[in-house]
Amino acid sequence: MEPGLVEAVDLGYGWTKGWPPLREAIARIPYRGLVGAENIVVTAGGAAEANLITAMAYARPGSVVLLDEPSYMQLHGLVARLGARPLPVPRSREEGYKLPVERLVEEIRRRRPSLLYIVNPSNPTGVVTPLGELRELAREAAAAGTVLLVDEVYRGLEHSAPPAPTVLEAAVEEGALAVSTGSLSKAAGLPGLRIGWVAASTGEAADRLWAAKDYTSISPPRPSEALARAALGAWERLTGRARAVARRNLRLLRAALEGLPVSVFTGGAGAYVLLHLPAPGVAVAEHLLARHGLLAVPGEYMGAPCTLRVGLGAASEETAREAYRVLAGGLREALDELDESCDTSPV
């Protein structure tokens, strides 16, 4: 960190669009100069505010919003509250949770949605959508006047998958209006900074998002912006550490679950896996919490029935090993005791 960087921070209001040196670093490092600093808006609260202001700006009342599923579910409830009509487009478990590009193209042509929201790498599956498929979506979105919103918070955390492309590359090539959201919370492992961003394919779109932000946090916390700028200078080291932690914990998890009637699904990215279960995820998660004080996310709440989303993010090997030991014992108990059928059709 530069000497005196944080000590020199004035605790008054900062730049409502974000501190210029931080916006320049975001444009140059995660986005490799595809867009300039004028296309970046820094957000508070990580990518949650970034997704929020994009929905506020583009989810028009009465319009259709296409939603990736299973997924991080923030947009599903939000767009309905904004008066838009959410339309989930499910990925198929049988097809390895690959993004259903043909179905999305059909829906774009048929419904001309105001917004298409996808997560890449996918949360909770870890599947990476390649650049060619993003180009196809960008081409159709440009023709229909649809805005592409891609939550890219796990870019950089591809532990066994190829690097995830940014939608901005496809959008620039195809002339589409696209917004990438990101943060330092996931791949860099710095959620306490509460710093995220939107990166828009055009300056006009960035200004529209900036205007929406005046109704939310106004300006990011200045000490966090200074620390975020320093962290971006160590981006490769931080993301490399996160990938190594995820790989190690995935090995520990697989070893702990050996012999149980569950299977581990990972698309190769993200700090999580999906456990495919022979019982409803909600019932299993409730058992784990009540009997062992262990939290796992039921896949039903993310559009993936009969699964649990299990984290790979514990920095300490000892902590991870013990958590997975408790998880394995709890799963064994739950699956022995539960007498519920498992319906894997999308919820």
> Which segments of the chain belong to CATH 3.40.640.10?
20-233
- Whether the predicted pLDDT of 4 surpasses 70: no
Calculate mean pLDDT across residues 92-112: 97
Query: What are the pLDDT digits (tens) for 297-323?
Result: 999 999 999 999 999 999 999 999 999
Calculate mean pLDDT across residues 121-137: 98
Q: Using the structure block, give the residue that is written with the tokens 């996310």.
A: 297
The predicted pLDDT at position 35 comes to 97
Percent of the chain, pLDDT > 90? 92
Calculate mean pLDDT across residues 200-206: 97
Query: What are the pLDDT digits (tens) for 57-92?
Result: 999 999 999 999 999 999 999 999 999 999 999 999
Calculate mean pLDDT across residues 233-259: 98
CA–CA dist 127, 38 (Å, integer): 31
Helices assigned H by DSSP within the chain: 20-28, 47-58, 74-81, 101-111, 131-144, 167-174, 203-213, 222-232, 235-257, 281-292, 317-337
CA–CA dist 98, 122 (Å, integer): 9
Calculate mean pLDDT across residues 324-347: 86
CATH architecture of 20-233: 3-Layer(aba) Sandwich (3.40)
Which of the four pLDDT bands, split at 50, 70 and 90, describes residue 1?
very low
Which of the four pLDDT bands, split at 50, 70 and 90, describes residue 345?
low
Calculate mean pLDDT across residues 223-237: 96
C-alpha 207: how far from chain center: 23
Round the average pLDDT of the chain to a whole number and report it. Answer: 95
The predicted pLDDT at position 339 comes to 80
CATH 3.90.1150.10 fits 236-337, yes or no: yes
The predicted pLDDT at position 284 comes to 96
> Which segments of the chain belong to CATH 3.90.1150.10?
236-337
Calculate mean pLDDT across residues 214-230: 95
Q: Hey, how many other C-beta atoms are within 10 angstroms of the C-beta on 216? A: 13
Q: Using the structure block, give the residue that is written with the tokens 């971006």.
A: 232
Which of the four pLDDT bands, split at 50, 70 and 90, describes residue 6?
low
Choose among 104, 127, 98, 71: nearest CA to 304: 71
Which of the four pLDDT bands, split at 50, 70 and 90, describes residue 290?
very high
- Whether the predicted pLDDT of 155 surpasses 70: yes
Which of the four pLDDT bands, split at 50, 70 and 90, describes residue 3?
very low
Query: What are the pLDDT digits (tens) for 8-39?
Result: 788 888 999 999 999 999 999 999 999 999 99
The predicted pLDDT at position 304 comes to 96
Choose among 141, 131, 135: nearest CA to 165: 131
